[in-house]
Structure 1
């Protein structure tokens, strides 16, 4: 099998659909024509594209948590709490790990064991097992749009059930929900699975139902250079648009340096518009607060959350995905989740009328990110002989696309990121990323400046120090400046 970036015809889609819907008994609940009618009757305030369009038009930043538990009533209670007490603008449904791996029998056991225990024993909501009608119960319990968030290389059945169930936004992509999450699934296979998901969304669109798709921007979440996440996000956006998706939110995970992060969100807007100009799509952005290690101290954790909120507001991201002060400990309480939302809301409200002052440093950072991203995408396009799907597969084989710290055996894993003296993420090791000499020299110079300031050599130890730095109260992992 060799994937192609070509819109699937209905014959191909329909043949696969029978197989997909037979993967678990709840697949029989999916009736596409009836699902279209259900979406047509949804209140406008429950449709994600409406909310995103309004926010983008007004330059507002929406706030959205992460949340999902095993029991239906508890999940509904959690979402209502985050909406009412956390003042979330839009809500998520985070899917459990068994469902993400298509292990529905084990998810079913998890539901039953959770019922016996009276509390969630799964790390998310098993939507496939609950089926269409119970998903609709979730949608009908709240007064805002709800997005499906997961981490599934093969999300075909999950998409069928949740979209028929009334969810109006589906996160993920064939690269971003494979490379950071799976070890043995090929890029080609997961892109093929996700072409099905995107075609499904495209068919809803053709029937007048506006749904949003959001590739997962942060990837592995720690020290991912903007050009890497930008390149993958744009490729996934192009693949989705080809299948008929008309509303796309591209994401970016906070690195921590304000100038670099604002430059990243601004260039993501500019580059996505440039590369998807041939498609009639609405493009918006999602900013993910810091996805790496958090301080155990709650006061320090709120500092990290607030810094992410400030960056999202100043970059004018369409929405910000909010963390909690319990990140260092695992699954947060609903109260802690709401606290993270309220802290973010406070900062967003204070900064919503302010803009990042343009500076030479900001413009320089934007230019670097754009040049890096264009050089990567140019090589991907060349490798694919004009086909973005083929190009993505071949680019991972060649190391042209390479995600730091990813578990996938189809990822080269040769690039190494480290912070420069101001905390911006640079390349310590370029692997096979196709940068020109000028860009490589820029990164080497930036890391050399830090090494000189710290009186040490540029080395892998910088990478290790930077991974743990925020959890220890700093941004840059300096040898002599750690706060317990």
Structure 2
């Protein structure tokens, strides 16, 4: 959609008539949609202990300055999912995940139904997650009633409307994703404006729960983290958060992915609350509660188990230094495909151990973190402000127009609208900089700093093309180093 030939989306709050009209279509997409009753579901949530609500547990963690940990997990059938979550909870998981399968993420419920039948026949999961829509509200509540911690619906799709309806009505209290971050992170052809509309529906539904006394939460993070500058992912998250808040969402987690450079990761986490608060308050959303979240390294993991544990433990240290509210743990077997329950538990317990050991330590301020925080704040403000200018002050229009203009340019994004002109690389200390800026509006003093730091890495070495440096950096951690020779 170009600016010239189509109207951009608007962040304006939906009317009840618009929401209700779309809701009839959404709930009719699969038979289990008939199980959803928003008023009954809100009453179900209100009857639950506070410790099963994500917003409540995150508020406690922020007050206590404690970092929570959530692993990843999702299988096809209800009882095995309950057993898996019970094991993770016993191992110390503070927040419990349910990864949704790929068919459900693409709204292909008939194929998910076949995969569920094959799983039952095979006696093991033949899907890469839970087909929540097929199980329906009753199936999801079996999970919710069996655990004593908040449940996250971990989805990766530009259209999660029916999945959110079923899982929220089924007792889940948080979801992941967002239209900008997941369109640019996963989608190729799905129009960003359409993704924003689908997510506005989900956000408006969350707002309807809030109006009924139930605060639901959303976690926004860009699922591509390998060498994506933190400022770019943070700008996308802030736009998604403004779009969400406009529809009534009142609990948001601002997320980054670990880049494995301690100062830069910690600085991004420290900058997030102030940046998020600045933009939400600017739009009048002062009652939105903000948390921070970091996903452990989402790039290639080293196959050596000891080295993989090193990456995981470094994430816990970065999270501690950044004061993160919670983190998404990885396993030491990431290099080999979908991890086992045991491997996920090992990643969880390693993360928790590091956090416990750090909890009572009081470190002096670290100058390098403060310097990186100043840089990332300048970058984020420049990108978000330029986007909002393009959108005439509307965050939804800003997202579409900024992507079209290359102001938002996510390296390695599969989305056709993404410019892919910004080219990252690590500098001499392993921090992620931009070797080529494209149309990303980084202030000139900061650009000069990027160039200077990258030049220090290449000093005294044979000249290399930017793409050669990039390729080496992308594979470095899987090869057991941060900076390749």
* Residue aligning to 1:264: 268
Of residues 105, 114, 132 in structure 1, which corresponds to 2:137? 132
CA contact (8 A) 1:447 1:458 kept: no
Of residues 429, 432, 441 in structure 2, which corresponds to 1:425? 432
TM-score (norm 1): 0.97
Equivalences for residues 49-198 of structure 1 within 5 A: 49-84=55-90, 86-198=91-203
Pair 1:415-2:431 in alignment: no
TM-score (norm 2): 0.96
* Residue aligning to 2:249: 245
Deviations 1:41-78 (A, max 9, x none): 11111111111000001110001001101111111111
Of residues 33, 48, 58 in structure 2, which corresponds to 1:27? 33
CA contact (8 A) 1:404 1:416 kept: yes
CA contact (8 A) 1:223 1:418 kept: yes
Pair 1:228-2:232 in alignment: yes
CA contact (8 A) 1:218 1:288 kept: no
Shift of 1:415: 1.1
Give the aligned length: 476
* Residue aligning to 2:9: 3
CA contact (8 A) 2:8 2:400 kept: no
Equivalences for residues 327-406 of structure 1 within 5 A: 327-355=334-362, 357-406=364-413
CA contact (8 A) 1:254 1:308 kept: yes
Deviations 1:27-54 (A, max 9, x none): 0110111101101111111111111000
* Residue aligning to 2:441: 434
Of residues 13, 18, 21 in structure 2, which corresponds to 1:12? 18
* Residue aligning to 1:482: none
- Matched residue SS, 1:170: strand
Deviations 1:164-184 (A, max 9, x none): 001011111011121111110
- Matched residue SS, 2:448: helix
- Matched residue SS, 2:137: helix
* Residue aligning to 1:206: 211
State the alpha-carbon separation in 1 of the partners of residues 359 and 222 from structure 2: 24
CA contact (8 A) 2:387 2:398 kept: yes
Deviations 1:407-452 (A, max 9, x none): 1111111111110010000001111101232221111111110011
State the alpha-carbon separation in 2 of the partners of residues 88 and 437 from structure 1: 44
- Matched residue SS, 1:426: strand
Deviations 1:307-355 (A, max 9, x none): 1111112211000100001100111110111011111110000112235
Shift of 1:9: 1.1
Shift of 1:273: 1.1
Extract unaligned runs of 5+ from structure 1. Answer: 479-484
Deviations 1:142-172 (A, max 9, x none): 1100101110110110110000001011111
User: Structure 2 vs 1, CA of residues 268 and 325 (structure 1 numbering), >3 Å: closer, same or farther?
Assistant: same
- Matched residue SS, 1:175: helix
State the alpha-carbon separation in 2 of the partners of residues 353 and 93 from structure 1: 32
State the alpha-carbon separation in 2 of the partners of residues 355 and 169 from structure 1: 32
Shift of 1:131: 0.4
State the alpha-carbon separation in 2 of the partners of residues 189 and 355 from structure 1: 47
State the alpha-carbon separation in 1 of the partners of residues 290 and 460 from structure 2: 41
State the alpha-carbon separation in 2 of the partners of residues 298 and 238 from structure 1: 40
User: Structure 2 vs 1, CA of residues 158 and 356 (structure 1 numbering), >3 Å: closer, same or farther?
Assistant: farther
- Matched residue SS, 2:421: coil
